[in-house]
Amino acid sequence: MASPEPAGAEPAAITPALAGFLVGSQPADLPEAVRHEATRSLVNFMACAVGGCRDPAIDRLLAVLQIAGPQGGAGLIGRPEALDPAGAAFVNAAAGNVLDFDDAHPRTVIHPAAPVAAALFALLASRPPVSGPAFLHAFTLGVEVACRLGNAISPGHYARGFHITTTCGVLGAAAACAKLLDLDAQRTAAALGIAATGASGLVENLGYMAKCVGVGSAARDGLLAALFAQAGIDAAPRTLEGERGFLRVFCDAPRAAEVLDQLGVRWEAKANTYKPYPCALVLNPVIDALFELRAAPGFRPGRIARVRVRGHPLLLERADRPGVRTGREAKLSIQHTAAAVLLLGSAGIACYTDAAVNDPALVDFRSRVSVEADPHCPSSAARVALEDGEGGWQEVRVEAARGSLERPLSDTELSEKFRSLAAFGAAGLDPEPLLGALWQMKSLHDAGRLLRLSSPSGGVRPVAGAPL
């Protein structure tokens, strides 16, 4: 990790250097492991988007956008409607994020795929076919830019209250679209500069639908930044590293050197992870421990008198929520999650609906769950103990949860996640052809096929808008 910049030092030429790297990068430059990881991230993004595409928040956002710009042409993942490219980028990114089931770059907590992939898909709508490898390459570069900028401003940026997925996501989306549009170095730098002016997002809105508006906007504004740059709109030459540029404005002590450190050698796509459960990341080791306890011989939920969860103080602070009422809140509740795993044997998407949260058996069980902070426990670990009320107890300790960098989901597990989310959110969509095409990105001649396969009607049709 590089040191903070000395005050008053002349900034390194990050914006032009990054633009030059993007322009020069070729699909063949990606190591095979990076390409595969990028594919996994796309599978995960598509899974989240087909799962989230009928969420009430998405229905409402779409209704407004159909009116504000109803021209069709760009398809929506998992739905039969189409929008203009800017609107489609917005809705697909929001849908990919609405279930909180995204990819996650642990060092920065960025969820990079939703803004980057959705912007790229929107760009495909009305261009000559783009090959699978070219699409994957642009996607990888977009993730790279978002996560590297995030590295340079973490953890202060997020701690201050900026929603890093959107502030860095818009820059990743612009970088990816600039690559797919084949912009030169000057216009690529302009695309980054225009996108930097659109960087926004507040942590305060996490847990509310407004969060999805931010993620949607990041995809749309990144796409538009690249298109504006292509059309000749200029930006300050040092928008990232300048005195009043992105890094210094959005972070009290940025480490600008992180942006270019081992660029093209170390790939952030390989430091990306995929959530196994649609709830807060801090709950993952708890869930793993609960599943292990449930699988033990002689497990009987009726015998459990008390569930004791111990973890890092952050776990207590974020997720000690016995009295939840909505699915959205329950994603941050240890009590609800423990009840769901122990009683239902699941921590899947169906456990975090409003109906599940208000199920009397689960409501009753939540009161048996208590949480304690253990300052010696790392945030990646957790301990869970079950007590039977007669002095008997069992305890399990998990050091690194499923889905972490140490224990990544397998490709098979990712495919399973995809199928379950398709079944949850996109009735009528056959997941297998889409899943097959995703895993075969390397040999795909037209990446637009992914979007066509993601529509339940097998194609895309524009819809008419109504007056405001």
Of residues 193-212, those binding a second copy (CB under 8 A): 193-194, 196-205, 207-212
Residue linked to tokens 């990712």? 414
Q: Does 127 bind a second copy (CB under 8 A)?
A: yes
Minimum gap (Å) between residue 324 Cβ and a second copy: 16
The footprint of a second copy on residues 146-165 (CB under 8 A) is 160-163
Binding of a second copy at residue 434 (CB under 8 A)?
Answer: no
Alpha carbon 439 to its chain centroid, in Å, reads 19
Min dist CB 173 to a second copy, Å, is 14
32 belongs to the binding site for a second copy (CB under 8 A): no
- Contact residue for a second copy among 8, 232, 302, 360 (CB under 8 A): 232
Comparing CB distances to a second copy, the nearer of 229 and 287 is 229
Distance CA 161, CA 454 (A): 35
Residue-wise over 29-43: b if at least 16 C-beta within 10 A, else e? ebeeebbbbbbbbbb
Of 151, 431, 134, 399, nearest to 272 by C-alpha is 151
Question: Which of 110, 117, 225, 260 contacts a second copy by CB under 8 A?
Answer: 225
Q: Does 468 interact with a second copy (rule: CB under 8 A)?
A: yes
Q: Is residue 71 part of the contact set for a second copy (CB under 8 A)?
A: yes
Q: What distances in angstroms separate CA 324 from CA 5, 19, 55, 186, 344, one per listed residue?
A: 44, 47, 20, 51, 18
Choose which of 8, 9, 28, 243 interacts with a second copy (CB under 8 A): 243
Is 85 a binder of a second copy (CB under 8 A)?
Answer: yes
Site residue total, a second copy (CB under 8 A):
71
Structure tokens of 118?
């959705």
Kindly indicate which of the ranges 65-73, 99-107, 111-119, 427-435 contains the residues binding a second copy, using the contact rule CB under 8 A.
65-73
E strand residue ranges, 5-96:
74-75, 82-83
Is residue 86 part of the contact set for a second copy (CB under 8 A)? yes
Interface with a second copy (CB under 8 A), residue from 33, 64, 295, 361:
64
303 lies in the site for a second copy, by CB under 8 A: no
Q: Identify the residue among 1, 3, 32, 244 touching a second copy (CB under 8 A).
A: 244
Q: Determine contact, residues 412/43, Cβ cutoff 8 Å.
A: no
Bond prior to 237 in cis (omega within 30° of 0): no
Among 4, 29, 68, 393, binds a second copy (CB under 8 A): 68
Residue that has been written with the tokens 């599978």 in this structure: 43
Helix, strand and coil in the chain, % to nearest 5: 55, 5, 40
CA distance 19 to 29: 16
Q: Is the Cα torsion angle 62, 65, 71, 75 positive or negative in sign?
A: negative
CB of 220 to a second copy, least distance (A): 9
Smallest distance, a second copy to C-beta of residue 255, A: 18
- The dihedral through the CA atoms of 156, 159, 160, 166 has a sign that is positive
Q: Which of residues 246-265 bind a second copy (CB under 8 A)?
A: 246, 248-249
